[in-house]
Amino acid sequence: MCRFFSLVITENGYFYDIENHSHSHIIDKYNLNDSAEKLVKIEAIPKDYNEMNDFGIIVDQDVVPEWFDRDIEEKLIKKFVQNEVRKYPLEKLQLAAVTQNGHMILYITDPSEKVQLAAVTQRGRAIQYIKNPPENVQLAAVKWNGHVIQYIKNPSEKVQLVAVKQDGYAIRFITDPSEKVQLVAVKPN
């Protein structure tokens, strides 16, 4: 399932890529032997995306090598992830999380505009979790799916136009659309 923060463990060490949380990418990047007897795929899920100092650990495979002791390794993995995460600015970690799944913004308090934009670019519906998104974030979301305008309080006419241009049926979520918005909504693409 490859979620933030993914890593692959071998008897020789821990491998990860802060930019890409796909286990297959990590295996390819480090030229690892992709067999259940040789490695373990791990998901380290932050319990709080604002602090990123405590993680739940998920072993992402059914069969693990004999050398892998879940109880011992879980403690080591948590410590490793906490130490590695500290090397990166919090915004970079938040970007990595929302770039993979825009809905992760739900767990971030007061995300930066850059994080908001990354979230709605990945998944337009993520806008429903953003309080008072700026217009450029609104525009990015409705370009993805005009129907997400339903989650935007008092969208500007510009946002309304982009939403109905993307999908004319989005007009049903707009209170008192202007004549211009109405015309764009009924205009065939």
Reported confidence tier of residue 156, pLDDT bands at 50, 70, 90: very high
Give 78's DSSP letter: H
Residues 22-44 have a mean pLDDT of 87
- pLDDT at site 125: 95
Give the position of tokens 């802060």.
Answer: 18
Specify the pTM.
Answer: 0.72
Asked if 151 contacts 144 with a C-beta cutoff of 8 angstroms, the reply is no
pLDDT at 42 exceeding the cut of 60 = yes
Q: Which two tokens stand for residue 167?
A: 């999908």
pLDDT digits (tens, 9 = 90+) for 96-147: 889 888 998 988 888 999 999 999 999 999 999 999 999 999 999 999 899 9
Give the position of tokens 């002791």.
Answer: 69
Cβ partners under 8 Å of residue 155, min gap 6: 138, 142, 149, 163, 174
- pLDDT at site 121: 95
Asked if 155 contacts 136 with a C-beta cutoff of 8 angstroms, the reply is no
pLDDT at 52 exceeding the cut of 80 = no
Cβ partners under 8 Å of residue 187, min gap 6: 168
Instruction: Tell me the average pLDDT of the chain.
Output: 89
Asked if 104 contacts 128 with a C-beta cutoff of 8 angstroms, the reply is no
Cis amide leading into 68 (omega within 30): no
